[in-house]
Every structure is written in C-alpha cells, then in structure tokens.
Amino acid sequence: MSEQSSSTLNSLRSVADGASLHYVGMLVINLAGFLLTLVLTRTLGATIYGIYAYGTMVLQSVLTVSNFGTDVSATRYLAANRSDPAYQNRILGLAYATTLGVSLVVAVFLFVMAPTINAYTLEEPLFEPAMRVFAVALPFQALTYVVSSTFRGLEMAVGKTVVAVLGPVAQLIAIVAAVAVGYSVLGVAAAYAVACLVAFSIAFWYALAQSDLRPEFNFSRREALDFYDYSAPLTLSKAGNFLFKRIDVFMVGIFLAAADVGIYNVAVLIATILAMPLIGINQLFPPVASRLHSEGAIDELESVYATVTRWSITASIILALPVVVYRTEILALFGPEFVAGTTVVILFVAAQLFNAASGPANDLLTMTDHQYLVMVNHLVFGGLNVGLNYLFILEFGMIGAALATASILAALNILRVAQVWYLEGLFAYSATLWKPLAAATLAAVVMWLAGLYVDGLVLVFVGSTAGVAAYLVSLYQLGLNDRDRELAGEYLGLMG
C-alpha cells in the first residue's frame, strides 16, 4: 500500500470511528427523544405539546448565536494546533468566556421578551412563563456545546459521544419524572432546565478528566481578533442556518394553531432521522479536513470527501425507505391527530436525501477558509425561506411550510457541492453510486410486499427488517468498494 493510500485510510478510520460511536450515541439520543415525544404527546395532547415544542424551538434558535460560533472555532483551532497545547488552552478559555458572556445576554433578552414572543405567535397563556423557564437553560446548553467541541477538535470520538448523550438522557429522566407526578408544561420546562444544568456539570467534569487541556484566560488581543474573525461569520451563518432549517416551525406557530405546531414538529423530527449518517460523519470529518487542508494533502482530502459522501448516501437511503413507506403507521404512534403530518414527512425526507447526497460539503467549505461564503449562503437562503414560508403557509397551511423549506434545503445543498468543486477542485461522485440506488429499489419492493400480509406496528418492524436485509444483501452482491470492504472487515473483526 502506498504512503498516501495508507494515510487516507487512517483519515477514514478517524472519521469512521467518530461516525460509528456517534451512531451508538444517536441510537440512545433518538430513543430518548422518541420516548420523550411519545410521553408528552400521549399525556399532554397536541396543543400542550405544541407549546413545549415551540418553546424548545425558540431556545434552539437562539442557541445558534449564544456562543458566537465558538463551538466550530474551537474545533478548528484545537485540531490545527495539536503541537501547541498552551495555545489550545488559551483558545479553550476564549471559547468558554465568550460563550458564557453572550449566552447570559441572550438568556436575559429571551426572559424579558417572552410576553412579546407569545403575543406575536401562539397567544397561549402558558407559553410566556414556560418560555422564561426555558431561558434559564440556555447558558448551560451553550456551554455544553463548547465541551463537545473540545472532544471533537481532539478527535476523541468516545468523549464526543458521551457528551452528546448526556443532555437527551437527562431531559428524558427529568421530564418523565415531572409528568409522572402530575406537572404540565411549566413543570416540564423546569425539568428541562434542571436537566441542562446537570448535563453541563457532568460534561465539564468529564472533559477535565479525559483531557490535559485546561481553559486559560490569558489570551492575547491578536489571538482574540483572529478567533473572532473566524467565529463572527459563523454566528451569522448559524442565524441563517436557523432561517432555512427551523424558521418554518416558528412561522407555523405565527400563522397556525398550537396543535398544528405539535403535528408539524413530530413530522419533522421523524424525517430528521435521515440526518443521522451525515451527522455521524461530520463528528470528526471537520478536524480531519482542517488537518489535511493545512498540510496541503489535497488528493487525500478529496479521497476522504468522496468516500464519506458515498457512506452518507448509502446509509441515508435505507433510513428513508421505511419512514416513507410506513409514515402513516409511525405517525399514528403519537396519536390519531398526528397522522395529518404524512405529507410533511414525505417532503422533509426528500430534503434530507439532498442533504445526505451533498455529504460534508458545508463543513468542507468552513474548514477550507470559506466561512464568509458559508455565511452568505445561509443568510441568502434563509431569507428566501422566510419569504417562501410566508407565501406557502398562507396558501397551503403546514404543508406549504414543508414544501418551502424542503425546496430551499435541496437548492442550497446543490449549490454547496458546486462551490466545493469550483473553489477547491474537490468532487465526490462516481458511477458506483448506482449500486445503493439499485439496492434501494429492491428493498422498497420488499417493504411494500410486507404490507400485503401484516399491518400496524408489526408491519413497521417486520417490513423494515426485511427491507434493510434486502438492501444490505443487494449491496454485498453488487460489490463493495475495496476501501469500504477493508474498513468493514476491520470493524467486523473487532465485533467478532
């Protein structure tokens, strides 16, 4: 094996380690999220659940600016300066200090503006006090992102996964306990805030125990300016990211009822399962990309980019099939009123497939010093999404919101791929992508045939299992890529 091939394989191992461990974490996270949503929808109903979902959505939207882009900046600078731990400590201190200061300001703003937000959106009496309780959780969630970035920048997949799991598990335990003793949305919001505090405390202690890095606050003015020159456009980029990813839920709350928010949010959450493969890949791809780009290893970077994009497409397709084929049965789990979200599921599955097909193109742009372009992309498409949502919601209701956002996501991901190709000369696609498409066709037929014999939850389980098996067998018969086969052999050997 050549030196470059060996180096490429090592980079892919790093990405694969991060992805495989992240998938384990995502199974826990999604199970916790599914159980939490099931408990809340079944006990509180669509309207009260809509208040909870809207409050957490507002919280997640302001989280995008609450750390001033320090999570991504920390990932980049920690990864690119492994030989200088003193500098890494100063960067870490800068990230914590910035996040704490900005998140406290945003939390106070959110607390004060809760009545105004309620007046212009849901107009529900319980939303205002619930939103104020959610605001208390904001700094703890923002600081937890910095802890996660520490592990990500050091390419420590286990630590990144542990931190990712802490929040959802703590929220599940705390909120289910609150519901069990009879609390409604205010008690649930308080339980959410307590869970965020507990998750950050454990995560911070764990980071100190697993790494030699310690936040130091004696950073220079020059270091701070360089750091903010990178993080500032990322903050605006994240604001734009919210506009094209989550503004639809916000606008559904403005123009439609709280029950519609609940139904829409459940449908979106189901479809976002498809993002799992790409999210897993993106756990350690950015630091790998930053390292290879700084070393000038462009051929190796393109090889890694192409490989992980193929992984993203292959894994996402099989997740999409059962969600689309059995969407009615899945939505019915949350209650009969949630079946109204079937069309929303289909539209967001299509959007997520475009996202998966673009691979880590957005992170690649960010890690190759195109952060200002990423910012412009997000702000422009975010603005377009606001306009389309306004027009389509008034005309088609919540289906219009899904159609607008899905269209924007698809167009943006196509543009990202073109930008990576034009600016960096990196291209991720080859003719071998026909294999997962062919395997998916066979799997879809198998899932459809299962519906002729069983129904309900049994159909979801039996049909999904049979479809996944048909997909994997078909891929194997069509022939795996040599590099994929080698990595698969290593992981199967570890499991054997």
CB-based contact 251:390 (threshold 8 Å): yes
Buried b (16+ CB within 10 A) or exposed e, 261-277: bbbbbbbbbbbbbbbbb
How would residue 486 be classed by pLDDT, with cut points 50, 70 and 90? low
Buried b (16+ CB within 10 A) or exposed e, 340-357: bbbebbbbbbbbbbbbbb
DSSP tag of 256: S
CB-based contact 407:442 (threshold 8 Å): no
Q: What is the tens place of the pLDDT at every residue in 273-287?
A: 888 777 777 766 777
CB-based contact 330:399 (threshold 8 Å): no
Q: What is the tens place of the pLDDT at every residue in 153-168?
A: 887 878 888 898 999 9
In the chain, how long is the greatest CA-to-CA distance? 69
Q: What is the tens place of the pLDDT at every residue in 2-34?
A: 445 555 656 665 555 555 666 677 778 878 888
Of the candidates 167, 162, 164, which has an alpha carbon nearest to the alpha carbon of residue 193? Answer: 167
* Residue 249 in tokens: 């839920």
Task: State the pLDDT at residue 190.
Answer: 95
Distance CA 273, CA 443 (A): 18
Distance CA 296, CA 162 (A): 32
CB-based contact 308:281 (threshold 8 Å): yes
Task: State the pLDDT at residue 247.
Answer: 80
Lowest mean pLDDT among 217-226, 233-242, 328-337: 233-242
pTM, rounded to two decimals: 0.68
For residue 1, pLDDT beyond 50: no
Distance CA 415, CA 427 (A): 13
Task: State the pLDDT at residue 493.
Answer: 44
Mean pLDDT of 184-190: 91
Mean confidence (pLDDT) of the chain: 85
Cα–Cα distances in angstroms (integers) from residue 452 to residues 104, 189, 275, 455, 461, in the given order? 56, 44, 30, 8, 14
Task: State the pLDDT at residue 75.
Answer: 78
* Residue 459 in tokens: 């159909």
CB-based contact 433:475 (threshold 8 Å): no
How would residue 370 be classed by pLDDT, with cut points 50, 70 and 90? confident
Q: What is the tens place of the pLDDT at every residue in 426-440?
A: 888 887 778 888 999
Which single residue is written with the structure tokens 């400590």?
A: 89
How would residue 447 be classed by pLDDT, with cut points 50, 70 and 90? very high
How would residue 299 be classed by pLDDT, with cut points 50, 70 and 90? confident
Burial of 323 (0-12, 13-18, 19+ CB in 10 A): buried
Distance CA 71, CA 355 (A): 22
For residue 259, pLDDT beyond 90: no
CB-based contact 159:24 (threshold 8 Å): no
